[in-house]
């Protein structure tokens, strides 16, 4: 059997399953909401697969949580969630169910259950008679006394993706007794509301929202003003101690959308879910495309990939293959002229321990303000990695946005000095532009035979280095670590044509940086030149797990 025919790995939880409101939430939604359309219309809305997994994670509770009515966010492990999925996979009904839970259901932490504890709807204003028996030690839930929730989309018409299923769920179940659909909003108990919002509804953005759902946040950009709208809403929700959820198809990497920014953020209190199909499957090939569809729609049983998705995608591939692959293949598609393919990058990743004292080379690409500054390393055995430095083990790349708009040169100097002391650095290639003074100091301190100026603006030499880097990666003569920022920079790089059938690298847009890749190419060039000169392998030990 072809390994690519295998189903997605089952979704497993890496924490005590009692430490979440997710199972309570899922059962509450099943008891109060009906499937709003499709082949299961009218049946209880049941979450399984990715929907259950994301619910349980979104409502994960810290094991040391205590009830404090003044700090409603504190018990939650995640401050917000971003869910990326293909069209028709069930994002909208899932989002609608969670909106109703946030509106009138047990969405807040209410302590830890003892034996015999029960959640009863009648205790929370609902007369349906539903009950949930807690396990001892399970997180208990309660509803807000008043909820004001925003349903956000790029355009008012787009809010219907979630708003229409939301209305159907209310009108077809027990919630209609105390949740009322009105013209333009949904009335909740205690004068609460669920309100559709878009960039056109400026007057509504200042409302004290207790929660918000952003539909298709991959479309929220600076150009269409939706990024500002979503940021304003998110700040307001946080001020009311509420949380947000973003639903989206894979975004266009060129647009720097809200979804892209959130997914690439280094913050650990964001739950992210994106099921990526196997990288070795080619969406342009019909057979591979069918396998991709089966993979990404595996736990969306209402979707018939063979008779529905496959023909839709095949038609769209003829006119807009990139859009087809994003919408139905659930992939963040790289543009034309890409230097590094994701499949190749992923294939050459390896887990390697690089102990202090290892012989390495270093590569440095610097900037003053707009671009990043980065430093990468390579071992004698060809493994490239991002070193760390300082008391907090910070990675050796510097985003000026995190340093008040300027690269912190003192931090970079400290990192270079520490790496020179920690490893046996055979050669250090430095692109000196904007860093001439520092580069001269490094050479004076550590030797001009070690610290070598290597300007990247010389086309012929840069082209040769890029070709060697790509060929050695393709032949798996070099591997790399799991640094996500380096991968992001590598996949963003585009070939820029130069005379003589040569090319250099460029960034496709201002927000897409490639500096870590440039440093990676420089350290590999330094390592290749060192090997050509007889780099000594004595006492160079490391452990590789492939």
The DSSP code sequence of 206-236 is TS--SEEEEETGGG--TTTTHHHHHHHHHHH
Residues 304 and 445 in one domain: no
Q: Give the other-Cβ count within 10 Å of 425's Cβ.
A: 21
Q: What is the pLDDT along the chain (546 residues), one digit of tens a residue?
A: 333 345 676 788 999 999 999 999 999 999 999 999 888 899 999 999 999 999 999 999 999 999 998 999 999 999 999 999 999 999 999 999 999 999 999 999 999 999 999 999 999 889 999 999 999 999 999 999 999 999 999 887 778 889 999 999 999 999 999 999 998 899 999 999 999 998 766 556 668 899 999 999 999 999 888 999 999 999 999 999 999 999 999 998 888 899 999 998 989 999 999 999 998 899 999 999 999 999 999 999 999 999 999 999 999 999 999 899 999 999 988 777 889 988 899 999 999 999 999 999 999 999 988 899 999 999 999 999 999 999 999 999 999 999 999 999 999 999 999 999 999 999 999 999 999 999 999 999 999 999 999 999 999 999 999 999 999 999 999 999 999 999 999 999 999 999 999 999 998 888 889 999 999 999 999 999 999 998 865 444 444 444
515: which residues sit within 8 A by CB, 6+ positions away?
A: 365, 367, 371, 372, 373, 374, 397, 489
CB 170 within 8 A of CB 186: yes
Q: What is the pLDDT of residues 318-365, one digit of tens each?
A: 999 989 999 999 998 877 788 998 889 999 999 999 999 999 999 999
CB 56 within 8 A of CB 22: yes
Residues 300 and 361 in one domain: no
Q: What is the CATH number of the domain that holds 125?
A: 3.40.50.300
Helix or strand (DSSP H, E) at 248: strand 243-248
- The CA distance from 82 to 262, in Å, is 8
246: which residues sit within 8 A by CB, 6+ positions away?
A: 80, 81, 82, 83, 213, 214, 217, 258, 259, 262
The reported pTM is 0.83
Residue 247 structural domain: 3-274
285: which residues sit within 8 A by CB, 6+ positions away?
A: none
CB 21 within 8 A of CB 12: no
CB 333 within 8 A of CB 309: no
Residues 387 and 305 in one domain: no
Q: What is the pLDDT of residues 501-518, one digit of tens each?
A: 999 999 888 888 999 999
Residues 112 and 147 in one domain: yes
For residue 125 the two structure tokens come to 């204003």
pLDDT of residue 37: 86
| 142, part of any domain | yes
Residues 100 and 248 in one domain: yes
Residues 290 and 268 in one domain: no
pLDDT of residue 545: 42
Residues 297 and 387 in one domain: no
Residues 121 and 248 in one domain: yes
pLDDT of residue 4: 36
Which residues are bridge partners to 181 per DSSP? Answer: 186
Q: What is the CATH number of the domain that holds 397?
A: 3.30.420.240
> What is the chain's length?
546
| 334, part of any domain | no
Residues 434 and 391 in one domain: yes
Nearest to 81 by CA among 67, 97, 95: 95
- The CA distance from 5 to 8, in Å, is 9
pLDDT of residue 482: 95
Q: Give the other-Cβ count within 10 Å of 89's Cβ.
A: 25
| 353, part of any domain | yes
Nearest to 141 by CA among 240, 58, 233: 58
For residue 16 the two structure tokens come to 């005590």
| 170, part of any domain | yes
**How many folded domains does the chain comprise?**
3
| 320, part of any domain | yes
Residues 226 and 78 in one domain: yes
| 335, part of any domain | no
Give the distance from CA 494 to its chain's centroid: 22
Residues 269 and 294 in one domain: no
| 281, part of any domain | no
| 333, part of any domain | no
CB 206 within 8 A of CB 239: no
Residues 267 and 304 in one domain: no
End residue of a domain, out of 327, 360, 390: 327
């Amino acid at each position: 059997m072809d390994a690519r025919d295998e189903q997605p790995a089952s979704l497993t939880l890496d924490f005590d399953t009692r430490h979440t409101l997710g199972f309570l939430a899922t059962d509450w939604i099943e008891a109060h909401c009906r499937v709003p359309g499709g082949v299961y219309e009218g049946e209880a809305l049941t979450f399984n697969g990715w929907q259950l997994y994301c619910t349980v994670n979104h409502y994960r509770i810290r094991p040391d949580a205590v009830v404090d009515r003044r700090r409603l966010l504190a018990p939650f492990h995640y401050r917000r969630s971003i869910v990326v999925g293909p069209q028709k996979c069930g994002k909208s009904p899932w989002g609608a169910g969670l909106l109703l839970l946030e509106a009138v259901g047990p969405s807040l932490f209410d302590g830890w259950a003892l034996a015999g504890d029960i959640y009863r709807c009648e205790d929370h204003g609902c007369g349906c008679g539903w009950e949930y028996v807690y396990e001892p030690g399970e997180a208990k839930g309660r509803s807000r006394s008043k909820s004001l929730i925003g349903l956000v989309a790029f355009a008012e018409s787009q809010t219907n993706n979630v708003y229409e299923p939301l209305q159907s769920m209310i009108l077809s179940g027990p919630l209609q007794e105390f949740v009322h659909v009105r013209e333009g909003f949904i009335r909740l108990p205690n004068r609460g509301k669920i309100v559709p919002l878009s960039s056109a509804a400026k007057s509504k953005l200042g409302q004290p929202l207790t929660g918000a759902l952003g539909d298709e946040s991959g479309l929220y950009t600076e150009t269409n003003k939706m990024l500002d709208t979503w940021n304003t809403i998110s700040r307001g929700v946080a001020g009311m101690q509420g949380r947000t959820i973003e639903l989206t198809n894979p975004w266009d990497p060129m647009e720097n959308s809200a979804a892209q920014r959130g997914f690439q953020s280094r913050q650990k209190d964001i739950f992210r879910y994106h099921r990526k199909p196997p990288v070795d499957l080619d969406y342009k090939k019909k057979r591979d495309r069918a396998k991709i569809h089966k993979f990404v729609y595996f736990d969306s049983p209402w979707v018939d990939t063979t008779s529905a998705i496959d023909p839709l995608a095949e038609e769209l591939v003829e006119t807009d293959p990139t859009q087809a692959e994003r919408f139905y293949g659930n992939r963040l598609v790289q543009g034309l002229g890409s230097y590094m393919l994701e499949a190749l990058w992923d294939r050459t990743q390896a887990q390697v321990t690089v102990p202090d004292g290892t012989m390495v080379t270093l590569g440095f690409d610097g900037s003053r303000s707009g671009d990043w500054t980065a430093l990468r390393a390579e071992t004698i055995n060809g493994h490239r990695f991002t070193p760390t430095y300082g008391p907090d083990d910070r990675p050796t790349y510097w985003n000026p946005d995190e340093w008040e708009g300027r690269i912190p040169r003192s931090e970079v100097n400290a990192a270079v000095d520490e790496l020179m002391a920690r490893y046996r650095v055979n050669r250090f290639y430095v692109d000196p532009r904007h860093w001439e003074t520092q580069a001269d100091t490094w050479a004076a301190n550590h030797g001009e035979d070690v610290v070598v100026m290597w300007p990247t603006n010389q086309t012929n030499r840069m082209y040769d280095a890029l070709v060697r880097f790509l060929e050695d990666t393709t032949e798996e003569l070099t591997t790399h670590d799991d640094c996500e920022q380096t991968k992001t920079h590598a996949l963003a790089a585009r070939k820029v044509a130069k005379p003589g059938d040569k090319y250099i690298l460029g960034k496709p847009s201002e927000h897409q940086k490639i500096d870590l890749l440039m440093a990676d190419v420089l350290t590999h060039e330094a390592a290749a030149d060192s090997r050509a000169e007889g780099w000594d392998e004595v006492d160079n030990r490391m452990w590789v797990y492939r």
